[in-house]
Structure 1
Amino acid sequence: MHGTPVAPTCRAAGEHLRGRVAVVTGGARGVGAAVARSLSDAGVCLALLGRKEESLRQVAAALPTRSICVESDVTDRAALATAARRVEAELGPASVVVANAGIAVSGPFDQTAAELWQQVVDVNLTGSANTARAFLPQLISTHGYFLQVASTAAFGSAPMMSAYCASKAGAESFALALRGEVRPHGVQVGIAYVHWTGTDMLRGIDDHPVLTALRRHQPVPARRIHTPDQVAKWLTRGIAQRSPHIYAPPWLRWCQPLRPLFPALVARVARRELQASPSGTPFSGAEVLGASERADRRSYPDSPSSPPSEPC
């Protein structure tokens, strides 16, 4: 346990974030860890969910408010159900749930192992649905807020990123459908559209010609890589306002009306890049993006069954 509790049980109180309980999946690093820090600075009690207890504890150690760590995989419904029970018992019912856990794989579809392709969809799409299923009863009781972290990959699918783009587009669609179902219960569903962010997942982008070309052809402001802490501030502000859409950076909101144009533009750039490659494709195989994520996947069981961790 770290920090001084804001309230005995950290239950939701009033219309402000202070004293509320938030759950963040993928909370060990990147945007998830930054969102946890930003919410904690706002007085929110945190439940950090992720695949590696040690990594979660490192984040929790710096949080000023009460926090617990639960080692669980979002593809494991039983583990998430256990996590939800722990959160309610130790912190109180969640008022905010941030479905942030995600992985990305780059490479040609026909050279990506079917199991790896499926894993991206299982984490990014099905994992978000599993998270919502586990915590929806608590969100209904608190009239809470569910935030689906999506991506501008949902705007226009990039070749060599088929699983990631499909899963993020699916996550957006899932969140839109869920919004209509839970609104009568007082639950709001938000979607966060995150652009280039300086996380471990983005490192090595220069080794991926199609992504590099797509970024090079974007307007100068759109090429900027934002820090996870800056993205977290935008997300936290949207969470506090229970926004239906959160854009990181905010100017992305003006891209929504242009979305019908993006697939053709992306296809044109990608086709030019692929044709310029001597082999017809600039990749020799598929790989998980992010050194830390690759390490986690190697060291974690294929079928996670680890028990929840002890409180941080």
Structure 2
Amino acid sequence: MRTVLGSRPPAAVRGSPLRGRVAVVTGAARGVGEALVRRLSAEGMRIALLGREEETLSQVAASLAVMTVCIEADVTDQAALDRAARQVEERLGPAGVVVANAGIAVGGPFTRTEAELWRRVVDVNLVGAANTARAFLPQLTRTGGYFLQIASTAAFGSAPMMSAYCASKAGAESFALALRGEVAPEGVAVGIAYLHWTGTDMIAGMDEHPVLRALRRHQPPFARRVHSPAQVADWLATGITHRARSIYAPPWLRWCQPLRPVFPFVVGRIARRELREGSTDELGAEADVLGAGGRADWMSVRPET
């Protein structure tokens, strides 16, 4: 684990309630994590970037015009996160905002997914979120801070061929809901962010995935839109500023909450039809990690064969 410290004058938004506070973002090397640290730095926050890709993390940190700490750490390693939390407090001060954003995904049939890979997705997305909370809650308690769990519309209705990702995101949502009630008396707020189609490298091969391709095709035009990480980061930053219980990216997702009981039926019906009509090559292919960040994480821990 390596720490990189920078100290440039903040280009803060005048009057921002976030100005001068410390934000910790996991999975900050790319995608939504990278976009969010840029957006929060524009609010004048001091930023702690945590992630697996040391060189990429350092490049992002060096480009921010605020005081930063860059720490290479695996969110599945509690001891590493505990050390990271100590370093953040020593160098920047206690965290006021912590965003559990680190996540990976694998696409493919459950029976064609290596057991260790399936478990890794759950460990990063769910256990990693709990580890992050455990490491930083003492600081958030002292600052009356805000913990944001990045979830997904995958928690609304599980898609076949994405069993590990959907299970982990549903679990992460449930974890955050339970945590919210426990830490509220301590003055800590917990928010959950629901992300829809977001233009990161995780969905770069979306059109090659039979079920995701079908689900997107059956959505209304406005729901098919892929939003940029920068746009999603704007929505997240607004929610963080207001200590929102729920953040929807895009905002129209809030109207889907009352419909959640019907989503598993709809998703299941579309998926069954697609799987019946799918090619043998697609359905029999080995499951694979989606996106460069996920591949980097998996290659760093992949069991030797």
Both structures adopt the same fold (TM-score exceeding 0.5)? yes
Compute the TM-score of the two structures, normalised by the length of structure 2: 0.94
What letter is aligned with 1:215?
R
Partner of 1:235: 236
Partner of 1:163: 164
Over 3 Å counting, the alpha-carbon distance change for 1:246 and 1:207 in structure 2 is same
Partner of 1:38: 39
User: Per-residue deviation at 1:302?
Assistant: 5.0
- Once residues 23 and 295 of structure 1 are traced to their aligned partners in structure 2, the CA distance between those partners, rounded to angstroms, is 21
- Once residues 5 and 283 of structure 1 are traced to their aligned partners in structure 2, the CA distance between those partners, rounded to angstroms, is 54
- Once residues 15 and 222 of structure 1 are traced to their aligned partners in structure 2, the CA distance between those partners, rounded to angstroms, is 32
What letter is aligned with 2:119?
Q
Partner of 2:6: 2
Partner of 2:140: 139
What letter is aligned with 2:18?
L
Partner of 1:222: 223
User: Per-residue deviation at 1:282?
Assistant: 2.6
Unaligned runs of 5+ residues in structure 2 are none
Partner of 1:99: 100
User: Per-residue deviation at 1:284?
Assistant: 1.3
Over 3 Å counting, the alpha-carbon distance change for 1:301 and 1:163 in structure 2 is closer
Equivalences for residues 171-250 of structure 1 within 5 A: 171-250=172-251
Unaligned runs of 5+ residues in structure 1 are 7-13, 304-312
Over 3 Å counting, the alpha-carbon distance change for 1:51 and 1:217 in structure 2 is same
Partner of 2:87: 86
SS in structure 1 opposite 2:207?
Answer: helix
How many residues are matched?
296
User: Per-residue deviation at 1:278?
Assistant: 4.5
Partner of 2:75: 74
User: Per-residue deviation at 1:296?
Assistant: 4.2
Partner of 1:10: none
- Once residues 261 and 79 of structure 2 are traced to their aligned partners in structure 1, the CA distance between those partners, rounded to angstroms, is 39
Matched, 1:26 2:27: yes
Does structure 2 retain, via aligned residues, the 8 Å contact 1:3–1:63? Answer: no
Sequence identity percentage: 68
What letter is aligned with 1:105?
V
Does structure 1 retain, via aligned residues, the 8 Å contact 2:52–2:297? Answer: yes
What letter is aligned with 1:175?
A
Does structure 2 retain, via aligned residues, the 8 Å contact 1:98–1:148? Answer: yes
Does structure 1 retain, via aligned residues, the 8 Å contact 2:105–2:294? Answer: no
SS in structure 1 opposite 2:283?
Answer: coil
Over 3 Å counting, the alpha-carbon distance change for 1:153 and 1:124 in structure 2 is same
Compute the TM-score of the two structures, normalised by the length of structure 1: 0.92
Matched, 1:297 2:298: yes
- Once residues 204 and 284 of structure 2 are traced to their aligned partners in structure 1, the CA distance between those partners, rounded to angstroms, is 17
SS in structure 2 opposite 1:282?
Answer: helix
What letter is aligned with 2:116?
E
Partner of 1:54: 55
Does structure 1 retain, via aligned residues, the 8 Å contact 2:53–2:296? Answer: no
- Once residues 38 and 278 of structure 2 are traced to their aligned partners in structure 1, the CA distance between those partners, rounded to angstroms, is 43
Deviates more, 1:271-280 or 1:75-84: 271-280
What letter is aligned with 1:232?
A
User: Per-residue deviation at 1:287?
Assistant: 0.4
User: Per-residue deviation at 1:297?
Assistant: 2.7
Does structure 2 retain, via aligned residues, the 8 Å contact 1:151–1:193? Answer: yes
User: Per-residue deviation at 1:34?
Assistant: 0.4
- Once residues 95 and 19 of structure 1 are traced to their aligned partners in structure 2, the CA distance between those partners, rounded to angstroms, is 10
Does structure 1 retain, via aligned residues, the 8 Å contact 2:103–2:294? Answer: no
What letter is aligned with 1:72?
A
User: Per-residue deviation at 1:215?
Assistant: 0.4
